[in-house]
Amino acid sequence: MRTRKKIAVAAGAAAVGGVGFAWAAMGLPALGAAPAGERLDRMEASPNFAGRKAKNLVERPMTPEGESMLGTSVRWFSDRASRKPSEPIPMVAPDPQDLLPDGERLRATWLGHSTVLLEIDGQLLLTDPVFGDRAAPVSWAGPKRFHAPPLAFDDLPPIDAVLISHDHYDHLDHGTILRLAETGVRFLVPLGVGAHLESWGVDPKDITELDWWESTRVGELKLVCTPAHHFSGRSGLDRDRTLWSSWAVIGPRHRAWFGGDTGPLEAADLIAERHGPFDLVMLEIGAWDPSWAGIHLGPDAAVDLHGQLGGGALLPIHHGTFELALHAWDQPMVRLQQLQQDKGFELLAPIPGQTLQPGEPGIAEFWSQRTADRGDS
């Protein structure tokens, strides 16, 4: 049994590496670039790197249940019908004028997956912007969006800063970064990710690259690069070459936390102590599976982490946009609402394009109906 498992894992790793080699051989610019020079020196001196590899605060298996890659692959190619919506997901087309900040509010407009237009104390931040059609380095293959972005790129209001959590394709989209760079917006990225942006022509002066616990300012906001528990890579050959992170956003009136991609996080209590309490917490709930519970949350673990962070309104992200996991496409939101009904935390559950803010009714009728229809999920 152990021999077969080792063979399956090796075969899966070889397949992933082969795909990465094929991408690299094609010379795709979306792959980005390896850190070098002073950037690499800084990474090698960081306590969050072991030589040239980023590491988590606590190392634990990515797949705690021990399923082989082969077993996951078998499940991946079976029962796929429920992983995509059978009917269009309702959306709101925001009026760009309504998205302009007023200096007092904390509001979030969910644009799909982990892309959130965050208005906080007069500043507009954009998290992990993906406006492309696929979460992939090419336009003809890879996970495709369930729906178009609810807000056209050209309708984005002026953005004060872009927050990037890590370099996976569903969080760092080559085409979107190119278009944003044309506006001269400032990019805040974890250590090493700046190499990708510079290779795509982003002006180095527009890139602020931070290690965990380092901070910078955007207007009146303090932005802190905080830990996450995840991994990185864009080709299959560059695993953990750059750091991954979450972000604490601290304003004169409000505080928010953007989790990016993370599994259970040992630093949660410390983040809450140093930078909380948070009015808004954005946590991934989708594209997860028990077989990779070490590096993704899912709804139950998200609720646990939300409690560790001290509460605040919970805005779920990383769901309802791409087929990236083995669960039904709406299962995370159904389960999250069931947990909310049981535990009573404040939940903001918008449809794509909808703007919500803490303290106001926040569960879209569409999600409520999905939960009512699948009450036994």
pTM, two decimals, is 0.91
Would you give the DSSP letter of residue 91?
Answer: -
The CA R_g of the chain, rounded to the nearest whole Å, is 20
Question: What is the predicted pLDDT for the residue at 195?
Answer: 98
What superfamily in CATH does domain 104-373 come from?
Answer: Ribonuclease Z/Hydroxyacylglutathione hydrolase-like (3.60.15.10)
Question: What is the predicted pLDDT for the residue at 290?
Answer: 86
Q: How far is the C-alpha of 83 from the C-alpha of 201, rounded, in Å?
A: 36
Q: How far is the C-alpha of 231 from the C-alpha of 133, rounded, in Å?
A: 23
Question: What is the predicted pLDDT for the residue at 67?
Answer: 61
- The DSSP string of 194-227 is HHHHHHTT--GGGEEEE-TT-EEEETTEEEEEE-
Q: How far is the C-alpha of 172 from the C-alpha of 127, rounded, in Å?
A: 10
Residue ranges per structural domain of the chain? 104-373
Question: What is the predicted pLDDT for the residue at 60?
Answer: 84
Instruction: Measure Cα distances from 307 to 177, 268, 311 in Å.
Output: 33, 9, 5
Q: Are 227 and 267 in contact (CB under 8 A)?
A: yes
Long-range contacts from 96-100, C-beta under 8 angstroms, 24+ separation: 96/151, 96/155, 96/156, 96/157, 98/355, 99/124, 99/151, 99/157, 99/355, 100/124, 100/157
Amino acid, single-letter form, for residue 293: A
For the chain, residues with pLDDT lower than 70 are 1-27, 63-73, 76-77, 79, 375-377
